[in-house]
Structure 1
Amino acid sequence: MIAYSEVRAFTATPGQGNRAGVVLDAAALTDAEMQALATYLDAPETVFVIRMGDGRVRVRYFTPTCEVAFCGHATVALGLMLAQAGYWAGEALELETLSGRVPLRLISDAGVPVQVWMRQHRHESRLLPTTLRSRLADALGISDRMVHRGLPLAAASSGQWSAFVPLLDAVILDGLDPDLPAIEQLSEELDVESVYAYAPMGVNRFAARDFAPRVGIPEDPVTGSAGGALMGLLAHHGRLPVRSGRAAGMVYQGHAVGSPGEVEVEVEVDGTQVVAIHVGGCAVLEREGRWQR
């Protein structure tokens, strides 16, 4: 029997945010068993701890259909479970993932874990051809006149690649009618894991929806890795206010699927270059169980 936890990340409220499976002792599981358990839990991602020691934790992430290199919300969920299980009291801790090492930071209040922050991977981006604007809009179920011309239409990554499509406002975002096969086709052509639509709500606040049928997730409720990549993209293009080499922002996601959450992001910049991206959020344990191998 394999013990697992189901955790809601980027929220402090059970039933909201993004659900992640967490398995703290997966050393004996085969690849096929990890995939089977992730399919059984049917969370957008499940994170498996393969080894702990020397301030490092080796992990792997699986969606219900495949393995992925990194997942932000599952990382926040894992941080909470490591703290609650007594494996982590806030000292330096680094995750070893398939896409590189991810340092974690724990924020506690009177000894109670409150937030988990991660330093994400090196930020990369590339502008997408404006000729794709109509196809992306059609795939989202809107007119290309609803695509924002003043914000970057681009692919970006701070751990996994997404195509970022800016919309004029959050009302348009809420009314999207995605064509998932078309989004999957575009994702394959662009070699990204998801199509991430976003809209401004303020100077440094954005609403978002993330569609990832290519990796078996029709719509991800709250996406930490893409939220970090978005803020890095905006900072790189001068669309975020910067003070003393830092920009901060918030992404609101999940409202359209009845599971709202909040992703906090801090970006370190040097001119237009993104030096580092830090993503943080709350998490709450929802339930625990055991799985028969």
Structure 2
Amino acid sequence: MIAYSEVSAFTRTPGQGNRAGVVLDASALSEAEMRELAAFLGAPETVFVTRMSAAHTGRSTVRVRYFTPTQEVEFCGHATLALGLMLAQSRLWRGEALELETLAGRVPLQLISEAGVPHQVWMRQQRHEVRPVPTSLRAELAEALGIDARMIHRGLPMAAASTGLWSVFVPLVDPVILDALEPDLDRIALLSGALDVGSIYAYAPMGVNRFAARDFAPALGIPEDPVTGSAGGALMALLAQGGCLPVRAGRACGVIYQGHALGTPGEVEVEVEMRGETVIAVHVGGCAVLEREGVWKREGS
């Protein structure tokens, strides 16, 4: 019997934000069993802890793997947030230095508590990377999202970017257009494959450093991801690098609102460290809340 938790990430309200499966002890599970359990839970991603260790330096290390209902992915922001909450609530993490070992690299976590109660988890994401997207694809991306190319914002960056998982970021002129998108998921899956990314992430400005977003990832088995921490970090870094966010004392901060179109609103907080025009670190944080717990019966047990 394998214990699991289902956690709502980037929200304080169960059933909102983005749901993640969390398995704190997957050391005895095979890869095939992880895939089976992830499919059973049906959350956009499930995170599995395959090893925990405490170093003599006082820094704990947790090795993890992430699975969508159909495949393994290198990194997932909202599942990382959910894992941090469950480690804290299970008293396996009391706020000391903690690093996750992921397929994308090492991800340090920070725990914020209020009156001794775990409140927020922050993660330092992987190195920010950017690839250009040909402007000739502007019309094709617009059609895949179900809009006219004139609805794409010309003053904000359209590019592929990653802080652990690649997405193509498509800026729209208004959040109303974002809410009304009728995406062609088959075309989005084909474009994602052609551009070697996990998703097509549409976003629109709501203020100086506030953005609304929707993330379509049919290539990963996720028609629409409710709230996406990895892409949120990559977007804010892309905007900061492009001079589209105010930078004060070497830091640019912002919030992304996602999930409203699915009835599961959530908020992704991002802080980008800058040195001149260069992104040197991306931090993503938010709240999370436990939805339910259960056990999964392994075949033959």
TM range (shorter): over 0.9
TM superposition shift of 1:126: 1.8
What residue in structure 2 maps to residue 140 of structure 1? Answer: 145
TM superposition shift of 1:47: 0.1
Aligned-residue identity in percent: 75
Q: Which SS does the other structure have where 1:199 is aligned? A: strand
1:276 aligns with 2:281: yes
TM superposition shift of 1:271: 1.1
Distance in 2 of aligned mates of 1:126 and 1:214: 19
The one-letter code of the counterpart of 2:282 is: I
Match of 1:131 among 119, 131, 136: 136
The one-letter code of the counterpart of 1:186 is: L
Distance in 2 of aligned mates of 1:121 and 1:7: 23
What residue in structure 2 maps to residue 17 of structure 1? Answer: 17
Match of 1:257 among 241, 250, 262: 262
What residue in structure 2 maps to residue 149 of structure 1? Answer: 154
Distance in 1 of aligned mates of 2:158 and 2:268: 21
Distance in 2 of aligned mates of 1:126 and 1:86: 41
Deviation digits for residues 69-95 of structure 1 (CA, Å, limit 9, x no counterpart): 000000000000000001001000000
Q: How does 1:137-286 map to 2 (within 5 A)?
A: 137-286=142-291
Distance in 1 of aligned mates of 2:52 and 2:116: 22
How many residues are aligned here?
293
Deviation digits for residues 19-63 of structure 1 (CA, Å, limit 9, x no counterpart): 000000000000000000000000000000001112000000000
The one-letter code of the counterpart of 1:25 is: D
1:98 aligns with 2:103: yes
Q: Which SS does the other structure have where 2:79 is aligned? A: helix
> Structure 1: which 5+ residue stretches go unaligned?
none
Q: Which SS does the other structure have where 2:141 is aligned? A: helix
Deviation digits for residues 205-253 of structure 1 (CA, Å, limit 9, x no counterpart): 0000000000100000000000000000001100000000000000000
> Structure 2: which 5+ residue stretches go unaligned?
55-59
Q: CA RMSD in A?
A: 0.4
The one-letter code of the counterpart of 2:154 is: R
Distance in 2 of aligned mates of 1:218 and 1:103: 29
Verify the 8 A CA contact 1:160 1:193 in the aligned structure 2.
Answer: yes
Distance in 1 of aligned mates of 2:286 and 2:260: 17
Q: Which SS does the other structure have where 1:229 is aligned? A: helix
The one-letter code of the counterpart of 2:6 is: E
1:77 aligns with 2:77: no
Q: Which SS does the other structure have where 2:34 is aligned? A: helix
What residue in structure 2 maps to residue 289 of structure 1? Answer: 294
Distance in 2 of aligned mates of 1:103 and 1:227: 17
TM superposition shift of 1:272: 1.1
Verify the 8 A CA contact 1:69 1:98 in the aligned structure 2.
Answer: yes
TM-score normalised to structure 1 length: 1.00
Distance in 2 of aligned mates of 1:291 and 1:10: 25
Q: Which SS does the other structure have where 1:106 is aligned? A: strand
Q: Which SS does the other structure have where 1:267 is aligned? A: strand
Verify the 8 A CA contact 1:127 1:152 in the aligned structure 2.
Answer: no
TM superposition shift of 1:129: 1.0
TM superposition shift of 1:123: 0.1
Q: How does 1:111-130 map to 2 (within 5 A)?
A: 111-130=116-135
Distance in 1 of aligned mates of 2:15 and 2:25: 25
Distance in 2 of aligned mates of 1:116 and 1:278: 10
More deviation, 126-135/88-97: 126-135
The one-letter code of the counterpart of 2:42 is: D
TM superposition shift of 1:203: 0.4
What residue in structure 1 maps to residue 57 of structure 2? Answer: none
TM superposition shift of 1:127: 2.1
